[in-house]
Structure 1
Amino acid sequence: MDDQRQGMAHLRKLLEESVGGRGRIAMVTGAVATGKSELLHGFADQALEQGALPLSATGSRAERDLPLGVLSQLVRNTPTDEHRTATLDLLREGSHARMSRDPGAESFEHVDVQIVDALCTVLLKQSERRPLVIVVDDVHHADRASQLCLSYLARRVTYARIMLVFSVPDHHAHLRTLLHTEMARQPHCHAVRLAHLSAEGVAARVRRRAGAQAADLFAARCHELSGGNRLLVDALLEDLQATGEPGERYADAVLACLHRADPGLLPVARALAVLGEPGTAGRLLGQGEATTARAAQALTGAGLLAGGRFRHEAAASAVLAGLDGAELVDLHRRAAELTYQEGAPAPVVATHLLTASHAGDPWALSVLEEAARQALRDDGVESAIEYLKLALRACDDGRRRARIATTLVRATWRIDPGTPTGHLAELTEALHKGDLGGADAIVLARALLWHGHVADAKDVLSRLGELDREALAELAATRAWCRGSWPAFLPHLPEPPAEQASATARSLGADRRLESADALASALREGPSAELAQTAERVLRGSRLDEMSMDAVECALLTLTFTDRADRAAPWCDAFVTEAAGRHAPSRQARLSAIRAEIALRRGDLAAAARDAQRALDLISPDSWGVAVGAPLGVLLMAGAAMGRHLDYVRQAAQPVPEAMLETRFGPQYLYGRGRFALVSGQPRQALRDLRLCGELMGAWRMDVPEFIPWRVDAAEALVRLGEVEEARALIDQQLAGGGKRSRRVYGMALRVLAATAERRHRAVLLRRAADLLQIGGDRYEHARALFDLIDAYHAIGEHRRAGMLAGRARALATECHAGALADTAPRGQRNGGAGGQAAGPVIKAVASPVLSDAEQRVAALAADGYSNREISGKLFITVSTVEQHLTRIYRKLNVSRRDDLPPSLADRAV
């Protein structure tokens, strides 16, 4: 049985006793919204049904100063007779007498006792004819005179047919005065206590109001956020059904509970909403802890607090919403000062300063800087940025402003490298004024480099002056980064004296930033080694994505990727991408997504490479990428073209990039991607220009290792398409002689292109070897390309059965890679009825098909069908010389160098 039913049963029993001539008093107590009013109204109705005369009244805070107001409500509900008329006369007399007195005097002394006695006598006489049930809801709000009269009556109903029923909330100040001293001590006074709903009670209420499904979905949360308070439960149910979260109705219900309770609770509620601790809230309000503790207990009893804090942020916000802007700012400003004086953690104090937008006190800047440092350690980047912005606005010391601005640049960099550009000019100006130096100046130089401001970065470094230990460490890390990412700028970085450099090296021997950056630089200059891979994985095992480790993680992942260990880099990269997402660091997510795209491309997963590259470019804008945009953009172009979607990426291919990018590692990455894109798009000359420039830059920076970018292979393919076969073969020979055989992937790619320069009878051998190497190397796309070329080579020498046996495997591999471009043209032998199913044709062939003249079309068709020049001469009744002239023009128009490269589709038109 719940409290309501138990309470009603108790009241009915008391009614039976009072009807029998034994007067009773019932004090119905409970927190706000425990159902006291509902119980009283229901009981009054039942009393009427049982023959008693219910007289009801409700106390109101607004009518507390109206003399005998509650008693007047009761009397006006009595039957019209001489007793009622006499009572009303007495009330008018008592009210007039009370209002003529000094308003400041005590009411008890100035209410005529004779009038009180006469009023009570009238009620007692009424009960002789019919039992009376006097019900007063919220009696704590009744005026003082009415309370005195009711107290007087309570002492005289012991043997009368009168039952008094009053409701009062728990923890109200009036409970400790009149009602406790006069009512509660009467032997015929009984307490009826109501409580909030239990979890089961909340579920039952939700089920009655919204059905079983709503109860299953929302009952637990309604109980959690309401403490069983019926008013809050009903409001929460409406909000949760509408939006799934506590909202406007819940906020209104919270305010309604506060207004119905003791007004003294509101200031405490606001203080708790700001501070969350009862003791501190009392000091903020300038009142004793005991007073605040009682108020907090009342708020807890009302279901608003749990553990001294509001059950939901929406409740705290609702409490503070009633304050105007100036009041709220003042409250948080005083809260900041109080929490600082009491030694609260810096983030707690800083949050109040931030809300008050106030940092004018001498101690405020230090608190904000410390709070920002802690927030950055705990991945609260957004909070750190807001703390630093407030500190920057309030600081008028040049050196300190420069330090704060540098920290702000580092913080905003985690979210978007493009965001802090507005602060770079301020930091540069601070440098010129002498307010910025040391490690902060080096950080500024690196930020300027990222955005391609090379001249400004040189200017910064020229003003470094003497370097302390921290600056030397930052310089060492920057030099290591430049070796692998911006080798062209390395000569502009100062070289510390030998004794300082050695001291720095000793102090930074375990610094992962240096170790990882050195490993990447070595991989790009010397090629792969087991030692470099071990170093990279050791760095990754010991790294988390905190403020200083992103460079270390990035360099270690790239070291594995650029040394033919993409499979080993992949799980590490995935783990760090997940960590970056959890840390709400879009900039880091973008940089890691770009690496993941590179890994996917080298494994032949074209769709994943395009997806991750595009995600990297979406997470932060191309402008925010600065010079590093070349890495994801290059991968996107390569993957898109390989999937046969080059038309979808024409806009990206034409996208402007920073000029300074060509001075960085990202330049060759971009040129290589653009060159591959041009090659698939049927523009071998443009491809050759980009690939040769890529090679020139790599050679100039001593980064010309094939595991990084095998540019010679693709340049050779472009030359084959342009008919420069000998030059193409020379490039492949250079590639193989210069470490190209070290990597199975690059070796296989080189052999595939070399086969295109060889005689027809030798191609199959080279392509079989290429396919085997690429299968071991793990690049499924390049493996598929080699298989399709091998199929075509088999058809060319009449081994149609062997070609057919490979067709299904090649087609499945191309589908797995999403390499749509490989299936554009079927091998020539299959079009002539060769064995095997349909498969794609050779990769190295013309893509464009300009219009041929009728004569050229006839010659091309026969040549594509395998006829010799003399056979074509006989079929078309033209000279062999004329056939050769036609073929020269055909090759030029179709961008091929020999008849074997003619599109097989031409054979369908043979006459």
Structure 2
Amino acid sequence: VDNCTPESRVVLQAAAVMGEQASTARIAALTGLDWGTIAACGYFLTAAGLLADDGKCPPPVASAVIDDMSAPQRRDAHRRFAELLFEENAGATTVAQQLIAAGDPAPAWAVEVLRTAAEEQSATDLQAALRFVRAARRLAVDEADRAALTMKLASLSWRADPAAVRRYAPELVQLLRTGRLAPDEAELAIRYLLWFGRIDDAVEALDRLLAATEPQVPGLAVRLRPFILWTSIWYPDVIERVPAARDLRHDKALRIEAVGARSVEAGNTFELLLHSGEQHEIAAEAQRLLESCVLDDRTLDWLLTALLALLHADEVECAARWCKNLLAQAWARRAGSWLAQLTAVRAQIALRTGRLKPASVYATRALAWLPAEKWGVRVGLPLATLAQARTLLGDYDRAAGILDGPVPPEMLDTTFGMFYLQARGQLLLAVGSLPRARVEFESCLEFMRQREVELPNLLPWRVHLAEVHSRLGQVEQARILAEEQLALNAAHGGHWARGIALRLLARTAEPDEARDLLKSSVGELRASGAKLDLAAALTDLSRAHREAGEAAKAEQLERHAQQLTATCGKTWDRADADACPTAVQDNLVHLKPKGHGRQRLSMAEQRVAILAANGRTNTEIARELFVTPSTVEQHLTRIYRKLEIHGRSELVSIGDLALAV
């Protein structure tokens, strides 16, 4: 290189900057040299081994040449080459790579090119897409452009690591407050806030979004209804705190059909789930939703809920197939957070079928893709599945360790938290800690009933609570709960929960009736695909036939139960003992209670509580905090419930406020 003529050095530097994009015409345009001079320089450089026969600069040589250039030289060469490529209408990614190398200042068209390049790379090279969006966001001067790029940066970051989006949360809140996000972007931003448990910010944002619906944005309320219904399933407290959202949830007159196919299937699926629709209807709509959606940042939550809807409808094999297909798509995109969430659902599907070791492996893998501290409030699902699998495998210490770790307190105000409480209750039930198990299941009862969310074939808290009462000898309470579950499932289907309820009801019946109930239970559980629960029902039925003197039938059923239990990776026990060794129970004494007693107040609730305790009226509080009196009333209602008090006069107790804060 040192022996090159000045012209040869210029040609070599141009070829090094251009890389695979180098050509004689481009070098001439970039350097201003004539073709004859470039050809002569090329002959010399090729003979010296600095250029390949095709005129391209080998990567090691290119790296050395570029390093030898001064920083201003490098930036200027990359900037001029970017402009040349732009004038040639070259691909956005090719131009963007040169813009990134050139740095600032950039031409006016750079923002749009970088944005387009990010879109091109988002499906194949996430890190490149992030580089392009960051550069575009840095260069953007238009507020609307910057807001859209902030959302794009957040959504791309989310795919790899949701925790990385936390740094943008304050900016997202500000964009939501100032109305600078389009409705679909605002919806996505609210989902991110919900993930992190920023419930107050999400409530405020949703309230503002719905307040801007009509007449400024005709049809927005209809377009948002699927999102409202989805939020009602997983974050029902948010909907209860936004009157417009609550009205929208219950407004069946809105014609979702006018919006587009994807919204139709999403709205119908979520509507049927919320209002305990027929199982075959839920399955059909969920499959249509899965068929109509391509996996991306905005559809992921809908597709995850559709998979769980198939599980709710006992379409276990269908759910497993779709989950496997979506996992392949997520893997192709190298989207770690997508892989984690889909793997958590895959674990839940495996758990339902009784494949305990695969369920444990999948749940562990989900928590490896995305560590527990990055899951936000949704961590309840993978933790619950892993703990349930370990409990059913008899690994009570491991299950207790999983459930004794820290979780976001806001999780317990979501349906994800109910999966978690159910897992805690089942562990305590397994080790014979019946009063504490009852507390966990009763917390599920209170949450689901108060929020008007019934997912009877996903979260059958009635049958679990019925089992506690049955073991405590409270036969009548057990029977009532089992019959409630049966009535719910009889109206809308649900083989799995119905089969478990029939098995529990058999414990409260006379021998002849119990055998009939157990036969029905076996039929329902066989239809559900839940092999481990089927084995338990067969064991009970075997015992009933043995007690009736039908030893041959009992032996046949017992062998079948034993085979099923073995396929689930669990040791079969003829006694099917309800209680566990006392030593195991003692090991679990330190399982810390969660979600019971007085709950922590949110920041907004703390501010309202302190002002109310100091004698301010609702109107005065509203004026001081820049909210409506209605919002203050809603905050006070939640404060009274969380502190277990009955009114404002009891707020003067500093002890209550100190404990809550």
Following TM superposition, by how much is the alpha carbon of 1:406 offset from its aligned partner in structure 2, in angstroms?
A: 1.6
Aligned to 1:522, which of 268, 272, 296?
Answer: 272
> Deviations 1:406-427 (Å, cap 9, x if unpaired)?
2211221222222111111123
Equivalenced residues, count: 574
Pairs within 5 Å for 1:448-459: 448-459=193-204
More relative contact order in 1 or in 2 (CA 8 Å, sep 6+)? 2
Deviation at 1:779, TM superposition (A): 0.7
Query: Which of 370, 389, 395 is the equivalent residue of 2:116?
Result: 370
- The answer for unaligned runs of 5 or more in structure 2 is 585-661
Give yes or no for contact 2:144–2:180 (8 Å, CA) kept in 1.
yes
One-letter identity of the residue aligned with 1:366: E
2:259 aligned with 1:508:
yes
1:401 maps onto 2:141 in alignment: no
The match for 2:163 is 418
Query: Which is further off, 687-696 or 457-466?
Result: 457-466
- Say if 2:147 and 2:180, in contact at 8 Å, map to a contact too: yes
Task: Give the deviation of 1:298 after TM superposition.
Answer: 7.5
Residues 257, 264 of structure 2: 8 Å contact kept: no
**Map of 1:583 onto structure 2:** 333
Give the distance between the partners of 2:246 and 2:495, measured in 1 at CA.
Answer: 41
Structure in which a larger fraction of residues adopt helix: 2
Which of 610, 624, 633 does residue 374 from structure 2 map onto? Answer: 624
Give the match for residue 383 of structure 1: 128
User: 1:583 & 1:765 partners in 2: Cα distance?
Assistant: 52
Amino acid at match of 1:749: I
Please show how residues 640-719 of structure 1 align to structure 2 within 5 Å. 640-719=390-469
Question: Which residue number in structure 2 is paired with residue 842 of structure 1?
Answer: 576
In 1, are the aligned partners of 2:75 and 2:101 still within 8 Å (CA)? yes
Cα 1:736–1:503 shift into 2, 3 Å: closer
Secondary structure of 1:672's partner? helix
The answer as to 2:571 corresponding to 1:816 is: no
Of residues 285, 292, 308 in structure 2, which corresponds to 1:542? 292
CA contact (8 A) 2:15 2:22 kept: no
Shift of residue 316, structure 1, vs aligned partner: 4.9
Distance 1:802 1:294, change over 3 A: farther
The structural deviation recorded for 1:642 is 0.9
Specify the code of the residue in structure 2 equivalent to 1:593.
Answer: T
Deviations 1:521-559 (Å, cap 9, x if unpaired)? Answer: 312422334333222222222332234332342232222
The answer to whether the 8 Å contact 1:610/1:636 transfers is yes
Partner of 2:232: 483
Matches within 5 A, 1:105-144: none
TM-score scaled by length of structure 2: 0.77
Identity between Structure 1 and Structure 2 (%): 32
- Structure 2 counterparts to residues 201-600 of structure 1, below 5 A: 266-273=12-19, 275-289=21-35, 291-292=37-38, 305=52, 316-317=62-63, 320-323=66-69, 325-376=71-122, 378-432=123-177, 435=180, 438-464=183-209, 466-467=212-213, 468=217, 475-491=224-240, 492=242, 494=244, 505=256, 508-510=259-261, 512-600=262-350
CA distance in 1 between partners of 2:264 and 2:281 (Å): 16
What is the CA distance between 1:310 and its match in structure 2? 6.0
Q: Is the 8 A contact 2:400 2:427 kept in 1?
A: no
Deviation at 1:655, TM superposition (A): 2.4
Is contact 1:279-1:293 (8 Å) kept?
no
Cα separation, 1, equivalents of 2:247 and 2:517? 54
Matching residue's letter, 1:557: L
Cα contact 1:775–1:783 (8 A) shared by 2: yes
Per the TM alignment, residue 430 of structure 1 is displaced from its structure 2 partner at its CA by: 4.2
Which of 630, 636, 644 does residue 386 from structure 2 map onto?
636
Of 711, 724, 739, 2:474 maps to 724
> How far off is 1:679 after superposition?
1.6
Q: 2 CA distance for matches of 1:616 and 1:722?
A: 36
Q: Is residue 359–residue 365 contact of structure 1 (8 Å, CA) maintained in 2?
A: no
CA contact 2:396–2:427 (8 Å) conserved in 1: yes
Counterpart amino acid of residue 239 in structure 2: L
The alignment partner of 1:702 has SS state of coil
Tell me which amino acid in the other structure corresponds to 1:387. Answer: F
Query: By how many angstroms is 1:787 displaced?
Result: 2.6
Structural mapping, 1:22-171, within 5 Å: none
1: CA distance between counterparts of 2:264 and 2:290? 13
Q: Residue 757 of structure 1: SS of its match in structure 2?
A: coil
**Aligned counterpart, 2:623:** none
Query: Counterparts of 1:761 and 1:496 in 2: how far apart (Å)?
Result: 48
Residue 726 of structure 1 aligns with an amino acid whose one-letter code is E
Distance 2:22 2:254 in 1: 50
Given that residues 151 and 185 in structure 2 are in contact (C-alpha distance below 8 angstroms), is that contact kept between their aligned partners in structure 1?
yes
Give the AA of the match of 2:376: G
- Give the superposition deviation at 1:720: 2.0
- Distance apart, 1:575 and its partner CA: 0.8
Q: What amino acid does structure 1 have at the position aligned with 2:119?
A: R
Provide the secondary structure at the position in 2 that maps to 1:526: coil
Say whether the 8 Å CA contact 1:354–1:387 is kept in structure 2. Answer: yes
| 1:578 CA drift (Å) | 0.7
| C-alpha separation in 1, matches of 2:338 and 2:43 | 47
Structure 1: how far apart are the matches of 2:496 and 2:255? Answer: 40
**2:275 alignment partner, SS class:** helix
Task: Tell me: CA distance 1:795–1:547, structure 2 relative to 1, closer, same or farther (3 Å).
Answer: same
In the alignment, structure 1 residue 774 sits paired with structure 2 residue 519: no
What is the DSSP-based 3-state SS (H/G/I as helix, E as strand, rest coil) of the residue aligned with 1:418?
Answer: helix
Q: Could you tell me which residue of structure 2 aligns to residue 134 of structure 1?
A: none
Distance 2:223 2:56 in 1: 45
Amino acid in structure 2 at the alignment position of 1:848: P
The one-letter code matched in structure 2 to 1:283 is A
Amino acid in structure 2 at the alignment position of 1:459: E
Of the structure 1 ranges 301-310 and 411-420, higher mean CA displacement relative to structure 2 is found in 301-310
CA distance in structure 2 between the aligned counterparts of 1:337 and 1:652, rounded to whole angstroms = 56
Distance 2:368 2:387 in 1: 15
Distance 1:731 1:759 in 2: 18
Aligned pair in 2 of structure 1 residues 774, 290: CA closer, same or farther (>3 Å)? farther
Q: Give the CA deviation at 1:576.
A: 0.9
Structure 1 residues 549 and 761: alpha-carbon distance in aligned structure 2, compared to 1, 3 A threshold:
closer
SS in 2 for 1:655: coil
Alpha-carbon distance in structure 1 between the residues aligned to 2:197 and 2:191 = 10
Question: 1:716 deviation in Å?
Answer: 1.3
User: Taking structure 1 as reference, are residues 561 and 524 closer, same or farther at Cα in structure 2, changes over 3 Å only?
Assistant: farther
Deviation of residue 715 (structure 1)? 1.2
Offset of residue 345 of structure 1: 2.7
Q: Calculate the aligned-residue CA RMSD, in Å.
A: 3.6
Distance 1:324 1:609, change over 3 A: farther
Alpha carbons of structure 1 residues 316 and 515: separation in structure 2 relative to 1, 3 Å: farther
* Cα distance between partner residues in 2 of 1:290 and 1:542: 58
The Cα shift of 1:617 comes to 1.9
Cα distance in 2, alignment partners of residues 479 and 587 from structure 1: 23
Q: 2:222, 2:254 within 8 Å by CA — same for their partners in 1?
A: no
Q: Distance in 2 between matches of 1:397 and 1:805?
A: 76
Native 8 Å contact 1:755 1:762 kept in 2: yes
Between the aligned partners of 2:85 and 2:100, the Cα distance in structure 1 is: 14
- Aligned residues of 1:517 and 1:556 also touching (Cα < 8 A): no
The Cα offsets for residues 104-130 of structure 1, whole Å up to 9 and x where unpaired, read as xxxxxxxxxxxxxxxxxxxxxxxxxxx
Distance 1:547 1:61 in 2: 52
* Partners of 2:559 and 2:56 in 1: CA distance: 67
CA distance in 2 between counterparts of 1:432 and 1:505 reads 27
CA distance in 2, matches of 1:669, 1:521: 21
